[in-house]
Chain A
Amino acid sequence: MGDKFKSIEIYGLKKEKILKIYQDMLKIRYFENEITNIYLKAIMPGLAHLYIGEEAIAVGVCANLTKSDFSTSTHRGHGHLIAQGVDLKKMMAEVLGKATGYCKGKGGSMHIADFSKGILGANGIVGAGIPIATGSGYSAKVRGTDQVSVAFFGDAASNQGTFHESLNMAAAWKLPVIYVCENNLYGVSVDIRKVTNTKDLATRAFAYDIPGIVVNGNDVLEVYRVTKEAVELARGGGGPSLIECKTYRWKGHNVGDPGRVYRLEEERKEWIERCPIKTFRERLKKEKISSEKELNLIEEDTKKMIKEAVDFAIQSPYPDEMEAFEDLFVEEKGVGSR
């Protein structure tokens, strides 16, 4: 294997990083597949929102971030966290509501956070992470660091006030924030095209005089490339960008929603054909960046990781019921309940 191959040349990535990108997408896919299994076995409390089909966005974006950068995520947040290298065991344990989870079982799928990695949390309120990411960008400016912040959100969140208000402030003060809109076409069941006249949501950036970029959200290297430019702009003091990643949610809004009533099966099949992982795998082989054998090994290795995470989560204990009364306030116990 040499350095001459196309993807490596165009994107300036070393083979090692390209394979990590592949594995990160696999981690997300396998993790989400396991969530489905666990849900069907009725051992998962509540629900989860699956990221299957959108893996290229989280991985392509986060491949540009350092450990000191910040991000906010959404209700469909597993991918964003996994792409930033969180502990899969603690993550799966949280999804199952176990004491060993990231949030000690208090957050669940929709609220996983890892502050040690600058991940300020998934969020159950559509659009609510956007101003929080904007504030972390503001904070970087005040503290004089070169940290950047990424706000992940969906197409539907771009119709929330927080989206417009935040872009306006970030643009006015040239904050180092990258707004990543994952346009998977549906807000729960509603087709974005039925409630919004704007064809490309990225054009909303022009209202705030900042760069707006449309990218194929199923092409991980393209997502990587456009994010790299946005991150460089932000780190260099050039302010925020809005990146719209066109993609598709293979599954329903959450586990348990077949996602069929409001969508055409043909549309779904078309997008499944454009699977970000399958197409990337083919490309790695075609460009001789990797071999069938090597990719198989990565896949086996990743499956093992996910299995370990699931086993860990299932074997972990539930929190003691007194845990419900911890962590309301710093250093004081139960004050708020008085």
Chain B
Amino acid sequence: MKIKKITYSQALNEAIAEEMERDKNVILLGEDVGLFGGNFKVTAGLYEKYGEWRVRDVPISENSFTGLGLGAALTGLRPIVEIMYCDFLMLALDQIANQAAKIRYMSGGQSNVPLTIRTALGGGRSSAAQHSQSLQALVCHIPGLKVVVPSSAAEAKGLLKTAIRDDNPVVFFEHKMEYNKTYEVPDEEFTIPFGVANVLKVGKDITIVGTSNLALKALQAAEELTKEGINAEIIDPRTLVPLDRDTIIESVKKTGRLLIVDEGYERCGVAGEIAMSVLKDVFYYLNGPIERLTTANFPIPFSPALEFPLIPDKKKIYLKAKDMVLG
């Protein structure tokens, strides 16, 4: 397989461009997605190539342009709606949670809803409390939405293509600290199915499930852990809905320990949900309690001196895992 080196942004751009080329019903709606190329430069060049009707700069009206995307999805198109920061999902929640998530079900299955909502999560840029959150748990809570949290550029590309082709509403969370990073990506057409976790590293002492780019940070932490004689198994769940419970359960049965790392807030969060969803199946195999590493239940502060201590990182994963195994 040929490999190329591109950034996470470029990988997402390729996914969108390839799907727009493949299907003329794929359109893109979002703030600054046109000539500006997107706040994170994901959509650069698409406006020039596909024109204003397929790449639409929208007014700052999150709820209604999301609803516009939904209306288009119900009537023959396959829209991708970009919500610049996932903090802004709050403004569009009626159309996402009460409308897109429910229309198929409450109409008795009459319609498909091929709508992809792309948005950015994550702290680390001193963007403060309203531009740094990781709100994946918020949409996971609503039945009828698929939720994707890709890790690397290749993962992001393959999963976004699957999202665009999916006939259900998908909320796709990109990590804003990843956009400019360069990764190896297969230089050929590929997609990645939903609901199939990726085991990034096989191990036997502890299972670490990391969402979004925390899967990669967990992998880096695992390298450090080997120096302590700890062999960690690293799992990237890729999608939170559907969740590949089986892969996690099988892993924990083998390792006897589970650490879940997620950048969302701890309370009612993804980490707690994953823990509870596998607990019954792994209970008698556990050598200790399931643990989680998340963002503390506080708004994200501005100053780097305050922000970084609050959110999960490689070092915290290392220390937590080490403590869980060695005590």
Contact = CB atoms under 8 A, between A and B. Distances in A.
Interface of A: 70, 72, 101-107, 111, 113-116, 118, 120-121, 123-125, 128, 130-143, 149, 161-162, 165-166, 168-169, 172, 326-332, 335-338
B245 A328 contact: no
A103 B75 contact: no
Contact of B72 (A138, A172, A326): A138
A132 B108 contact: no
Nearest to A334: B242
B285 interface: no
Nearest to B241: A336
A46 to B, nearest CB: 13
Given A131-B70, A331-B167, A106 B59 contact: no
Contacts of B79: 135
Given A327-B105, A335-B195, A143 B77 contact: yes
A107 B108 CA distance: 7
A114 B110 CA distance: 8
A327 B108 contact: yes
Contact of B53 (A142, A161, A335, A336): A142
Contacts of A70: 71, 75
Contacts of B195: 335
A232 to B, nearest CB: 21
B185 to A, nearest CB: 28
A321 to B, nearest CB: 15
B94 A113 contact: no
A337 B168 contact: no
Interface stretch (B2-10, B60-68, B216-224): B60-68
A103 B95 contact: no
Given A120-B71, A132-B71, A139 B108 contact: no
A166 B64 contact: yes
A135 B105 contact: no
A131 B63 contact: yes
A110 B95 CA distance: 16
A141 B51 CA distance: 13
A136 B67 contact: no
Given A165-B59, A328-B144, A136 B105 contact: no
Interface residues of B, number: 50
6 contacts: A103-B110, A135-B75, A136-B71, A137-B71, A330-B112, A337-B143
B72 A135 contact: yes
Given A134-B71, A135-B70, A329-B104, 18 more contacts: A70-B75, A103-B110, A106-B108, A120-B75, A120-B111, A125-B99, A131-B68, A132-B99, A135-B72, A135-B74, A136-B71, A136-B72, A143-B76, A165-B64, A168-B59, A328-B104, A332-B242, A336-B145
A136 B106 CA distance: 19
Nearest to A337: B143
A181 B85 CA distance: 33
Interface in B89-121: 94-95, 98-99, 103-112
A115 B111 contact: yes
B67 A132 contact: yes
Contacts of B54: 142
Contacts of B146: 329
Interface of B: 25, 27, 53-54, 58-59, 61, 63-77, 79, 94-95, 98-99, 103-112, 143-146, 166-168, 195, 241-243, 245, 277
Contacts of B98: 124-125, 128
B144 A336 contact: yes
B58 A169 contact: yes
Nearest to B79: A135
A121 B98 CA distance: 13
A327 B63 contact: no
Nearest to B77: A139
A327 B162 CA distance: 20
A111 B98 CA distance: 12
Contacts of A335: 195, 241-242
A113 B107 contact: yes
A131 B74 contact: no
Contacts of A142: 25, 27, 53-54, 72, 77
A131 B75 contact: no
B146 to A, nearest CB: 7
A72 to B, nearest CB: 8
Contacts of A332: 242
Given A142-B27, A169-B58, A135 B71 contact: yes
A135 B108 contact: no
A329 B144 contact: yes
Contacts of B95: 128, 131-132
B110 A128 contact: no
Nearest to A161: B63
A121 B74 CA distance: 11
B66 to A, nearest CB: 8
A335 B72 CA distance: 25
Given A161-B63, A169-B65, A329-B168, A131 B71 contact: yes
Given A141-B53, A336-B144, A131 B64 contact: yes
B108 A161 contact: no
A84 to B, nearest CB: 15
